[in-house]
Structure 1
Amino acid sequence: MESTNSEEEVNEGQQQLKDKKVSWAKLGRVDSLNMEAGKVSSTQATHASKANWKTILSLAFQSVGVIYGDIGTSPLYVFSSVFSDKIEHKDDILGVFSLIIYTIMLVPMTKYVFIVLWANDNGDGGAFALYSLLCRYAKVSLIPNQQPEDRELSHYSLDIPSNHIKRAQRVRQTLEKSKFAKIFLVFLAILGTSMVIGDGVLTPCISVLSAVSGIKPLGQDAIMGISIAILIVLFSVQRLGTDKVGYAFAPAICIWFLFISGIGLYNLFKYDVTVLRAFNPMYIIHYFKRNGKKGWISLGGVFLCITGSEAMFADLGHFSVRSIQISFSCLVFPALLSAYCGQAAYLTKFPENVENTFYDSIPGPLYWPTFVVAVAAAIIASQAMISGTFSIVAQAQSVGCFPRVKVIHTSTKHGGQVYIPELNYFLMIACVLVTFSFKTTEKLGHAYGIAVVSAEIITTHMVTLVMLVIWKTRIWWITLFYAVYLTVESAYFSAQLTKFTQGGYLPIVFSIVLVIIMGTWHYVQKLRYQFELNNKVSSEYIRDLSNNPDIKRVPGIGLLYSELVQGIPPIFPHFVSNIPSVHSVIVLVSIKSIPISKVALQERFLFRHVEPREYKVFRCVVRLGYKDQLGDTMDFENQLVEQLSKFVRHEHYILEAHEQVVNREKTSRVHIEEDMQQQQQEVDSTTSPSTRSIQSNRSSSRIQMLHPNASGQDEIQFIEKAKEQGVFYLLAEAEVIAKQDSSFVKKGFINYGYNFLRKNFRQGEKVMAIPQTRLLRVGMTYEL
C-alpha cells in the first residue's frame, strides 16, 4: 500500500514539474518588451452574470433620467422649426407628421435600439468604443504599441462568428496595409467626438431657451437673459458631480413624458383624430410633390425630432442594452408619438399658432405645471449632454487624442462619471455666447441639426465597418443597412447645409477647431513615440551602470515615466548623466492605453526584470482602458508595489521550478532505476523500518522540490523597505522641435501648434497629482 502511495506521489510530482516546465517555456519565449522574459498576466476577471429582470428594470428607470432628456424635449421646437414662416396647406401638417413618425421609427428605434447598441465594446458605446473594437481586431492604431500580452486580458478577445471569414480577413489585411485607412479611422473617431462636443454646447442652449420661451408676457431679450442665468447656474453646480443623476432625474423625466403623452392624447381626441392617417407614408410623397425644394429644406426642422438618439449609444456604459431597449420602446417612443399626434391635431384647427405650438396646445389648468416640468426637463437634457461631453473627452485623452486636462471622478460607484473643470468653463462660456448671439430657438435649430446628423453619419460608417470585419454579417444585410441609413441621413444633412449661413456654420467651426487640436496632439504624440522607440537604450547599458562605481544608490523607489512600452527610454541615461545617482529600486513606468473600456486591477501592471537582477531595475507597463484612470497617488503607489512584489514572488517561483526541472532531467534516469529497485524489494520482502525511512526521505525531498524556498522574500522585503523610504517621481521635460529639413507644415504643427497646446494645458505632474516634494524633472530635446 505504501508502495502505491509513493508511486502516486512521484507521478503527481512529475506531472506538476512538467506543468512548471510548460510555464517556463511560456516564460522564456520572445516577448514584446525588447526580447526579455517575464510574467504574462493570465488572470481572467470573472464576467458578470446576466442581469436579472429586477436589475434590468431598475437600469431602464435610471436611463430615462440620463439619456432621454434631449430627445424628450424636442416636441418643444420641432413644428416651429419646420414651419418657420407659416402653414400654407393643411395637408402639409399630415406630411410633416408622417415624416416625424417614420424618422423616429427608422433612426432611434430601428437603427440605434436594435442594431447600433449591439456594436458595443464590453458594454460601452460611442465613437471611441467603435474605434477600439477595430483596433483590437486589426492593427490600425497609428501609435504602434500593441503587445501580445494584451490579448490575454479579460474582455480583450472578440466574440467572432465563424462564417464569412475570408472576406473579413481580406478587409482586415487591407486596413492594416493602408496608411490612409488608419488615418481615416482615427479621423472619424476624432470628428465624431468633435461633433458630440458641439452637441454639448448647443443642447443646453436650445433646450433651456425653448423651455423658458413659455413665459408669454416676457419679451425675447428677457427670455434670453433668464436662459443665460439658468445656464450659468447649471454649469456652476457641475463640480458637485452626477453620482445620483439617474434616480434623481428619472422621476422628473417620467413626469415629463406622462405630461406630453397625456396632453397629446387629449388634443388628439379633442381637435382631430383623423391625423392618424399620417401613418400612411403616401402623405410624405404628396408633401414633397406639393412643396418641392421647400419641402426638402424643411427636413432640417424635421430632423430635430430625433436629437439625442446618439446619447443612447454614447451613454450605454452606464446601463445595458436591454434596459435601454425597454425604456425607449415602452415609454419614450409611445410618449413622443402621442405628443406629436396632439400637436398635429391642434395645428389642423389653429395653424396660425405654429410659432409656439407646444405651449399654445396645453390646456389652461396644466399650463404652469407643464412649464415647470418643461424647464426641469430642459435642464436635465442639458445635464446629460454635458456629462457625456466630459466622458468622451476623458476617453479621447486616454488614447492620446486630446491634450492633458484634469479628470475628476465624482462617483465611487460609477467609473464613467467624471468632471473636467477646464472643459466645464469652456462649455459655459460657449453656451452663454451662443445663447446671446442667436436669441431664438429657430436660429439655434439651424446650427443644432448639423452637429447631430454629422455624428449619426459617422456612427453609420463605423458600425458598417464593424459589421463587415468583426460581426461578419452577410453582405446583403450590410449593404441594406449602409444604403438605407446613409441615404436618409445624407438627405437630412443636405437639408441642414442649406442653413449654413443662418447658423449652421457654428458646429462646423467648432468641429474644425477641435479636429485641428486633437489631430495635432495625436500626430505629434505618434512622432514622439516613434522617436523614443528608435532611440531606446540597450539593456547592456544597465550592466555597465551596475559596474560603474561613480554611480551612487540613494534610498527609495524611483518611478521614471515614459510613453515607451518597449525597451529602456532614452531619457534614462540622460537623467543619470546629469545626476550621477539612482534610487535603490528603479521602475521605468509607461502608461499605456488599451483599446478596451476597462482593465481589471490584477491585470493592469505588466513587469519585466532588467538584467542584472541584483541591480533592482524593473520595467512596468501600466495598462489602462479608455475609461480607467490612475486614481489617487497613494493608491497607485500601493498598487504598483503590491503587484511588483507579486511579480518578484512569481518570478522566483518559476526560476526555481525551472532549475528543479533541469536537475531532475539530469538525474531522472538514476531515480527511475532506484524506484524500480525499491518497488521490486517491497514486492519481494517486507519493508524494514530503515528502508521505510529512506523511502520517506526520498518522497519528502521530491515533494520539497515542488515548493520553492523563500529566496525571493529578501528581494520583496528590500522593495517594501525602499517604499517606506519614499517613492519619487522622475518626469521627462521633453521639448519637441521639428528637424531642420522638415516641411513648413510639419514645423508649424510641431513647433507652434503642439507646443502651444502643451504649454497651455496641464502638465503631466498636475494630471497625475504628483506631490511637488517628490518630483524631479529632467529636460531633453526631441528632434522629430
Structure 2
Amino acid sequence: MTTLHADGEFHSRKFLVLLLGSIGVVYGDIGTSPLYAFREALRPFVADGVVREDVVIGLISLMVWTLTIIVTFKYVLFLLRADNDGEGGTLSLLALLMKKSGSYLPVLFFAGVIGAALFIGDAMITPALSVMSALEGLKLVTPAFADYVLPMSAAIMVGLFLVQSKGTAAVSNFFGPVTVVWFLAMAWGGLIHIGDNLTILQALNPLNALWFITHAGAVGLIVLGAVFLTVTGAEALYADLGHFGRRPIQWAWFILVFPALTLNYLGQGALVLTHPEAVENPFYLLYPDWALLPIVILATMATIIASQAVITGAFSLARQAVHLGFLPRLMIKFTSETNTGQIYVPAVNGVLFIGVIVLIFSFGDSESLATAYGISVTGAMVVTTLMAHQFLRQVWGYSTLTATLLLLPLLLVEAVFLAANLLKIHDGGWVPVALAIAIMLVMWTWTRGTKYLKSKIAQSDIPLTDFIAALEKKSKHAPAIVPGTAVFLTSVPDRTPAVLLHNIKHNHVLHERNVILTVWTQDKPYVPEAERIEMQKLSDRFLRIDLTFGFMEEPNVTKALSICRKKGFKFEIMQTSFYLGRRVLVRSPNVGLPAWQERLYIALANFGIDPSDYFKLPANRVVELGEQVAI
C-alpha cells in the first residue's frame, strides 16, 4: 500500500509540474492576445471618440466564440487526440498520414511543408509583436519611455534566445508560476469592470457574433483579421504536445486559461461601453493607476513567455523535419533526462533570433506589426484543418461525407479569417508570406536534391552481393586482411558503400569483420528497443545491421550497437572503426537541378552537422574518405 501511495503521489506531482509548465509555455502566446486584439479590432469603428454598443457586443461575442470554436473544439478537444504516438504539429500529422496515404502523397507533402513554413514564420513574428505591445504600455506610465521601447524589446529578445539552451523544463519552471499570476491578473481586471455595464454579457450569445459578421459590411472583413489575433498561439499549442502531453494541456485550458481570457475580453468590452475614451488602450485601462506599472511589468514577462511557446514549437518541428528528410541534419540537444520531447536546436534558435530582431527594427511598433501577423497563423490553421480531414478518413475511419460535414463549418470560418488577413498583404502581410515561401523552398530543395543525389549515385553502385562474391574468389589482387571490425554507414544497404570501395582501392585492406550499417527513421516518434536492431549475416566476413529510430529520437548509433551483444554480435568499441564517406558536392551545368536550386542544395549540405556528431560516433574511431559528386 505504501508503494502504491508513493507511486500515485509521484504521478500526481509529475502531472502538476507538467500542468504548470504547459500554462507557462503552451499558453504563453494565446495569453497575451488581450493586450492588442480588441484594441486593433475596435479601431476602425471609432468615430469622434464614440463607438456603438452593438459593435462592442458583437466584437466581444465574435472573440469569445472564435476562442470556443477554434481553440476549444478544434485544438483542445480534437487535434490533441490526433497525435503521432504523443507528438503533435503539422509535420507529425503529415508523418502519420504518410503511413496511410496512397496517390495523394505529393499533395500531403506540400500541405505539410506549407503548414510548417507558415508556423516558423509565426515563430518569428510572435516574439516581436508580443514584447513590443507589452512595453508600449510604459507610454501610459510616462511618455518619456517612448524612445526606449525598441532597444528594450531587442534587449529582452537577446536574453530570451540566450536562455533557450537551458531547456524547456528550466524555462517552464520559472515561466509557469509567472503565467499563472498573469492569467489571474487578467481575470481580475475583467471582473472588476464587467459590472460597469452588464449588457456586455449579451456577448456570450453566439447570435451577436453572427449579427456582427452579417452587418459590419466591408470594414467587418478587414476587422476579422484583428479578431483572429485572439487565437494566435493555437498552432503552438498543438506543436508543443510532445513537450507536456495531452491531459496537462487540456486541463490548463479549461480550469484557468479559457475562463481568464473570457473574463478579460468581457471586462474590456464593458469598460469601453462605459468609458468610450478607453478605446485608446482598453487592456491597460482596466487597471487602477496604482496597479498600472506592476501590470506592465507582468505583461512584459508574459509576452516573453508567449515567445517561448512558438520557439519550443519551432524546435519540435525542426527535429521532425530533419528526421523526415525535409532539412539537412542539424545539431539537436536534449535538455531533459526524463522527457525526450524537450530539446534545443541551436541553428533554429539563431535563425529565429535574427528574424525577430529584423522585424522589431523594420516595423517599429506593435500596431504596424499586427497587420502582418494574421496571415501566417490563419494559413497554418487552414492547412491543419485540411490535413485533419484526411486524418479523420484514413486514421479514424470516418467516411468522406462524415469527415466533410464535421470539418466544413470550421474550414469555412478559418477561410473567412484567412481572406480577411490577405487584405493586409500591402500593409506588411507580405512578410509572413515571403518567410513561408523561403522556408518552403528550402524544404522542397533539400527533399528534391537528396532524391536526385541518391538516384545518381545508385547508377554507379555495385550490388553488395556481387561485390562479396567477387571478394571470395581467390585472386592475387585480393586485399590484405587486418584484425578488427569496420562499420560502413550507408543509406542504400543492398549496394556496396562507396567508402568501402575507396578503402580497398587506396589502402588495399579488408577487416576481419565488416558491418554494412543503415540507420532508418520511422514515421512514428518512438521505436521500442526490441524493434531497434535487425541483423543479417551476408558471409563469413560481412554482416548487415539495420538500426531503426523514431523521428523524435536521438539516432545514437554507438549506444544502439551495444545492444547487439544480446544478439551474438561481439561489438567492442576500441576494436571498431567507423568509415564515413565525405561527399563534396559540385555544380554540373545543364544537368540535374536548376542552377539556383543546385546552389541552395550545396549550401544546405554544407550547413548540416557532421554525420559523426549526428549519429554520436566516437570521434577517435571515425575514418572519413572523400569524393566529389557533381549534381
Q: Normalised by the size of structure 2, how large is the TM-score?
A: 0.91
Find the partner of 1:222 among 141, 148, 156: 148
Verify: 1:338 aligned to 2:260, yes or no. no
Query: Structure 1: how far apart are the matches of 2:382 and 2:322?
Result: 23
Which residue does 1:590 correspond to in 2?
518
1:780 positional shift: 3.6
Distance 1:531 1:623, change over 3 A: farther
Query: Structure 1: how far apart are the matches of 2:622 and 2:93?
Result: 37
Query: Structure 2: how far apart are the matches of 1:314 and 1:643?
Result: 32
Find the partner of 1:295 among 215, 220, 238: 220
Matched residues, number:
614
1:769 positional shift: 5.3
Verify: 1:236 aligned to 2:162, yes or no. yes
Find the partner of 1:196 among 106, 119, 123: 119
Please list the CA deviations of residues 571-604 of structure 1 after superposition, one character each: whole Å capped at 9, or x if unmatched: 4324322321133322222221100001223422
Find the partner of 1:105 among 37, 60, 68: 68
Verify: 1:62 aligned to 2:21, yes or no. yes
Is the contact between residue 121 and residue 376 of structure 2 (CA under 8 Å) also seen in structure 1? yes
Find the partner of 2:354 among 406, 410, 429: 429
Query: Structure 2: how far apart are the matches of 1:638 and 1:584?
Result: 22
Please list the CA deviations of residues 639-660 of structure 1 after superposition, one character each: whole Å capped at 9, or x if unmatched: 30x33333337xxxxxxxxxxx
Residue correspondence of structure 1 range 321-332 to structure 2 within 5 A: 321-332=246-257
Q: SS of 2:483's equivalent?
A: strand
Find the partner of 1:724 among 546, 550, 574: 574
Verify: 1:367 aligned to 2:276, yes or no. no
Find the partner of 2:110 among 168, 187, 195: 187
In structure 1, give the amino acid aligned to 2:75.
Answer: Y
Which residue does 1:605 correspond to in 2?
533
Is the contact between residue 599 and residue 623 of structure 1 (CA under 8 Å) also seen in structure 2? yes
1:532 positional shift: 4.9
Residue correspondence of structure 1 range 246-325 to structure 2 within 5 A: 246-269=172-195, 271-325=196-250
Distance 1:222 1:248, change over 3 A: closer
Verify: 1:245 aligned to 2:245, yes or no. no
Verify: 1:527 aligned to 2:433, yes or no. no
Q: Percent identity?
A: 31
Is the contact between residue 123 and residue 307 of structure 2 (CA under 8 Å) also seen in structure 1? yes
In structure 1, give the amino acid aligned to 2:86.
Answer: G
In structure 2, give the amino acid aligned to 1:254.
Answer: V
1:758 positional shift: 1.4
Distance 1:463 1:350, change over 3 A: same
Query: Structure 1: how far apart are the matches of 2:619 and 2:258?
Result: 54
Query: Structure 1: how far apart are the matches of 2:292 and 2:317?
Result: 37
Verify: 1:116 aligned to 2:79, yes or no. yes
In structure 1, give the amino acid aligned to 2:626.
Answer: G
Query: Structure 1: how far apart are the matches of 2:251 and 2:617?
Result: 45
In structure 1, give the amino acid aligned to 2:33.
Answer: S
Find the partner of 1:647 among 558, 567, 570: 567
Q: Normalised by the size of structure 1, how large is the TM-score?
A: 0.74
Which residue does 2:609 correspond to in 1?
762
Residue correspondence of structure 1 range 324-403 to structure 2 within 5 A: 324-403=249-328
Query: Structure 1: how far apart are the matches of 2:369 and 2:526?
Result: 37
In structure 1, give the amino acid aligned to 2:595.
Answer: G
Which residue does 1:677 correspond to in 2?
none
Which residue does 2:39 correspond to in 1?
80
Please list the CA deviations of residues 715-768 of structure 1 after superposition, one character each: whole Å capped at 9, or x if unmatched: x3xx44xx333x32211123456877746xx24266322112212443433434
Is the contact between residue 195 and residue 454 of structure 1 (CA under 8 Å) also seen in structure 2? yes
1:109 positional shift: 0.5
Distance 1:336 1:773, change over 3 A: same
Is the contact between residue 737 and residue 750 of structure 1 (CA under 8 Å) also seen in structure 2? no
Which residue does 2:3 correspond to in 1?
none
Which residue does 2:89 correspond to in 1?
126
Query: Structure 2: how far apart are the matches of 1:638 and 1:226?
Result: 46
1:67 positional shift: 0.5
Which residue does 1:3 correspond to in 2?
none
Q: SS of 1:606's equivalent?
A: strand
In structure 1, give the amino acid aligned to 2:123.
Answer: G
State which drifts further: 771-780 or 474-483: 771-780
Structure 2 alignment gaps of length 5 or more: 1-6
1:290 positional shift: 4.2
Find the partner of 2:392 among 451, 462, 467: 467
Which residue does 1:479 correspond to in 2?
404
Please list the CA deviations of residues 14-72 of structure 1 after superposition, one character each: whole Å capped at 9, or x if unmatched: xxxxxxxxxxxxxxxxxxxxxxxxxxxxxxxxxx99x9766555533332122100001
Which residue does 2:413 correspond to in 1?
488
In structure 1, give the amino acid aligned to 2:481.
Answer: R
Residue correspondence of structure 1 range 658-737 to structure 2 within 5 A: 716=570, 719-720=571-572, 723-725=573-575, 727-736=576-585
Q: SS of 1:590's equivalent?
A: strand
1:782 positional shift: 4.8
1:406 positional shift: 1.3
Query: Structure 2: how far apart are the matches of 1:739 and 1:756?
Result: 15
Query: Structure 2: how far apart are the matches of 1:630 and 1:123?
Result: 19
Is the contact between residue 19 and residue 249 of structure 2 (CA under 8 Å) also seen in structure 1? yes
1:347 positional shift: 0.9
In structure 2, give the amino acid aligned to 1:758.
Answer: A
State which drifts further: 763-772 or 338-347: 763-772
Find the partner of 1:96 among 51, 59, 71: 59
Q: SS of 1:298's equivalent?
A: helix
Query: Structure 2: how far apart are the matches of 1:55 and 1:773?
Result: 40
Query: Structure 1: how far apart are the matches of 2:475 and 2:174?
Result: 64
Please list the CA deviations of residues 232-289 of structure 1 after superposition, one character each: whole Å capped at 9, or x if unmatched: 11112222222333333221111111110011011111x2111111223333344345
Q: SS of 2:372's equivalent?
A: helix
Distance 1:204 1:517, change over 3 A: same
1:368 positional shift: 2.4
1:127 positional shift: 1.2
Find the partner of 2:484 among 556, 564, 567: 556
Q: SS of 2:518's equivalent?
A: strand
Please list the CA deviations of residues 515-542 of structure 1 after superposition, one character each: whole Å capped at 9, or x if unmatched: 1111110112122334455535231311
Q: SS of 1:557's equivalent?
A: strand
Which residue does 1:664 correspond to in 2?
none
Distance 1:536 1:306, change over 3 A: farther
Please list the CA deviations of residues 395-435 of structure 1 after superposition, one character each: whole Å capped at 9, or x if unmatched: 11111111222111122222122222222222112111101
In structure 2, give the amino acid aligned to 1:65.
Answer: G
Is the contact between residue 221 and residue 439 of structure 1 (CA under 8 Å) also seen in structure 2? no
Is the contact between residue 91 and residue 112 of structure 2 (CA under 8 Å) also seen in structure 1? yes
Verify: 1:205 aligned to 2:52, yes or no. no
Please list the CA deviations of residues 458-506 of structure 1 after superposition, one character each: whole Å capped at 9, or x if unmatched: 1101111011112112444311233111101110011101111111111
Is the contact between residue 121 and residue 436 of structure 2 (CA under 8 Å) also seen in structure 1? yes
Q: SS of 2:395's equivalent?
A: helix
1:104 positional shift: 0.6
Q: SS of 2:581's equivalent?
A: strand
Query: Structure 2: how far apart are the matches of 1:285 and 1:751?
Result: 51
Query: Structure 2: how far apart are the matches of 1:277 and 1:109?
Result: 20
Structure index of larger Rg? 1
Q: SS of 1:405's equivalent?
A: coil
Q: SS of 1:237's equivalent?
A: helix
1:783 positional shift: 5.9
Superposition RMSD in Å: 2.5
